[in-house]
């Protein structure tokens, strides 16, 4: 955390909803009392399945005055474990980073820095179980963000529900919250 600003990075594949996750995280944090939030989508010529990045900065203490990308995040979401093989993503993981990984089993940490905290949540499995899908696969943003809520306490499921109702309406929010509850209850730290 640099100067009271929490920096978060999202690594996903096109269609896995990582960009919308960065935007929703900013909304959840703001709703829960953070004084400044900033979502930074990286939009280019990517197509479904291609690696994509997005970033979020949140602050409880002061306004955010830097609008650049996040190079060394405090928290890093990994929506697809194969992305850990990409040098740019692997190199952005610094000692002390907290990783939130979409996986049902622990990952190989060979070559990663020391002193990482790694959390896993089977976001894909949860999405399949609840038929929370789009044509490219599971809608991973909600389970990943619910896992983040549990890990950090920066917001809770009640805040998620309030924001999602405003964003998507009551009916769609209800399914979102079933998925969120499962992820919140099943995220676990691995060594």
Token representation of residue 155: 């917001």
pTM metric for this prediction: 0.93
**Which CATH class, in words, describes the domain spanning 5-190?**
alpha beta
pLDDT surpasses 70 at 43: no
> How far is the C-alpha of 103 from the C-alpha of 84, rounded, in Å?
12
pLDDT surpasses 70 at 75: yes
Nearest to 144 by CA among 96, 186, 86, 191: 186
pLDDT value for 55: 94
Mean pLDDT of the chain: 91
Beta bridge partner(s), residue 78? 11, 101
Beta bridge partner(s), residue 136? none
Token representation of residue 112: 């990663």
pLDDT surpasses 90 at 101: yes
Instruction: Report which DSSP code applies to 85.
Output: G
Token representation of residue 132: 């929370």
- What residue segments make up the domains of the chain, in order of their start? 5-190
């Amino acid at each position: 955390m640099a100067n009271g600003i929490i920096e978060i990075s999202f690594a996903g594949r096109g269609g896995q909803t990582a960009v919308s996750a960065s935007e929703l995280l900013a909304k959840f944090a703001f709703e829960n009392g953070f004084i400044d939030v900033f979502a930074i989508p990286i939009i280019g010529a990517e197509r479904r399945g291609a690696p994509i990045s997005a970033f979020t900065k949140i602050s409880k203490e002061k306004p955010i005055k830097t609008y650049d990308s996040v190079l060394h995040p405090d928290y890093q979401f990994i929506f697809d474990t194969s992305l850990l093989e990409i040098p740019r993503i692997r190199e952005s993981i610094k000692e002390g980073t907290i990783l939130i990984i979409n996986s049902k089993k622990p990952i190989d940490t060979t070559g990663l820095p020391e002193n990482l905290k790694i959390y896993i949540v089977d976001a894909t499995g949860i999405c399949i179980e609840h038929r929370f899908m789009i044509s490219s696969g599971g809608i991973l943003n909600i389970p990943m963000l619910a896992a983040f809520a549990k890990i950090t306490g920066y917001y809770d499921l009640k805040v998620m529900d309030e924001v999602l109702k405003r964003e998507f309406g009551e009916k769609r929010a209800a399914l979102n919250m079933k998925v969120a509850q499962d992820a919140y209850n099943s995220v676990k730290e691995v060594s």
